[in-house]
Amino acid sequence: MGSLINSFLEGLAETINTLNYESNSKFFNPSIAMLSTLILTGLASFSLDFKPPLIILFLSFLLMFLARSRIYSWLKIIAITTLWATTVSIPLIFTFPGGLASVTLGLVELGISLEGLYLMIMFTIRVVAAASIFTAFIFILGWRGVIDGLRGLKVPGSIVSLISLSIIYIPFLIREMVRMLSAREVRIVRKTGFRELWYVLASVVGDLILRSYEHAWRLEKAIKARSLKPNPPPAGKFRVGLWINDLTLLILTLCITMLWFLSR
């Protein structure tokens, strides 16, 4: 069990690390791209119909193909997201009484309904569409482009600073958790059951919180020691219009937004 958890956490840290890179592409204006990203991600997440998420999912594939970004790394993230969303949404198929099929688990008999299957598919599509369009723009802009875009949208400097640091420290803390889990596994010298093993591994949460607080405290002191001004950096300027790409993106965002309202 421990090896499986460690492999999952290492894969999660590596997946987040793939988002942290500099992009030399000037395919979109960062401010306009981030505005469209936030709108399209929200539309995909809260859609009640299949059409908007599917269109957004197709648009994310089209953008990755036209921008010629790192499509294989992006597809890996989308595959992991699809697997995770499908796994956690499986219980939805048993939420309504139905006669499609039945599954017996000991003394409990669960019925698979058409309404539950629809909810599961809808949930998975929404999650995958939102993740695909958001990560597609991150791959196209690069993490520095995302930060510049948020500053151009007048997002408060403290929030932008936290976001810029999260891409570095989230994988760091995940790998810290892996090391702590491995250390606890080594100290288990006798054969234990699943429940006892889970209690031992779950005890890492408290240590992780304390270590996270320690790293955050040291980072805050280091930033203050190297900063000439106590206030966060000012927000950037909203630079409107690069080329036809930005206008096309805004038109597509507007059309999908109108479709989203019409489908409600």
* Sign of the four-CA dihedral 80, 84, 87, 89: negative
Residue 43 and residue 55 share a domain:
yes
Residue 180 and residue 210 share a domain:
yes
d(CA 231, CA 76): 39
Residue pointed to by tokens 């939420």: 95
Residue 170 and residue 245 share a domain:
no
Q: Chain centroid to CA 63: how far?
A: 18
In 3-state terms the chain splits into helix, strand, coil percentages (rounded to 5) of 75, 5, 25
Q: Is residue 47, in this structure, part of any structural domain at all?
A: yes
Return the pLDDT at 131. Answer: 92
Return the pLDDT at 227. Answer: 67
Q: Is residue 7, in this structure, part of any structural domain at all?
A: no
- Beta-carbon contacts of 74 under 8 Å, excluding residues fewer than 6 positions away, are 64, 135, 136, 139
DSSP states along 100-123: SEEEEETTEEEEE-HHHHHHHHHH
Q: Is residue 216, in this structure, part of any structural domain at all?
A: yes
**Would you say 133 and 60 are in contact if contact means Cβ atoms under 8 Å apart?**
yes
Residue 111 and residue 67 share a domain:
yes
Q: DSSP 3-state assignment of 22?
A: strand
Return the pLDDT at 254. Answer: 92
Residue 241 and residue 216 share a domain:
no
Q: Is residue 2, in this structure, part of any structural domain at all?
A: no
pLDDT along the chain (264 residues), means of 10: 67 73 73 90 90 92 83 86 90 73 64 81 93 90 83 83 78 81 72 67 76 77 68 49 76 90 80
d(CA 221, CA 203): 29
Q: Is residue 52, in this structure, part of any structural domain at all?
A: yes
**Would you say 148 and 26 are in contact if contact means Cβ atoms under 8 Å apart?**
no
Residue 131 and residue 224 share a domain:
no
Residues of the domain holding 262 = 13-154+236-264
Return the pLDDT at 41. Answer: 94
Residue 242 and residue 189 share a domain:
no
Residue 29 and residue 140 share a domain:
yes
**Would you say 33 and 149 are in contact if contact means Cβ atoms under 8 Å apart?**
yes
Q: How many helices (H) and strands (E) does the chain have?
A: 9, 2
- Beta-carbon contacts of 208 under 8 Å, excluding residues fewer than 6 positions away, are 173, 176, 177, 180
Q: Is residue 3, in this structure, part of any structural domain at all?
A: no
Residue 173 and residue 48 share a domain:
no
**Would you say 13 and 175 are in contact if contact means Cβ atoms under 8 Å apart?**
yes
Q: Chain centroid to CA 11: how far?
A: 14
Q: Is residue 1, in this structure, part of any structural domain at all?
A: no
The angle, 0 to 180 degrees and rounded to 10, between the axes of the packed helices 71-89 and 114-152 is 140
Q: Is residue 6, in this structure, part of any structural domain at all?
A: no
Residue 220 and residue 185 share a domain:
yes
**How much is the pTM?**
0.74
DSSP states along 41-70: HHHHHT-SSSHHHHHHHHHHHHHHHHHT--
Domain count for the chain, please give it. Answer: 2
Q: What is the 3-state secondary structure (H, E, C) of 182-251?
A: HHHHHCCCCCCCHHHHHHHHHCHHHHHHHHHHHHHHHHHHHHHHHCCCCCCCCCCCCCCCCCHHHHHHHH
Residue 197 and residue 168 share a domain:
yes
Residue 198 and residue 264 share a domain:
no
**Phi, psi torsion values for 22, nearest 5 degrees:** -90, 135
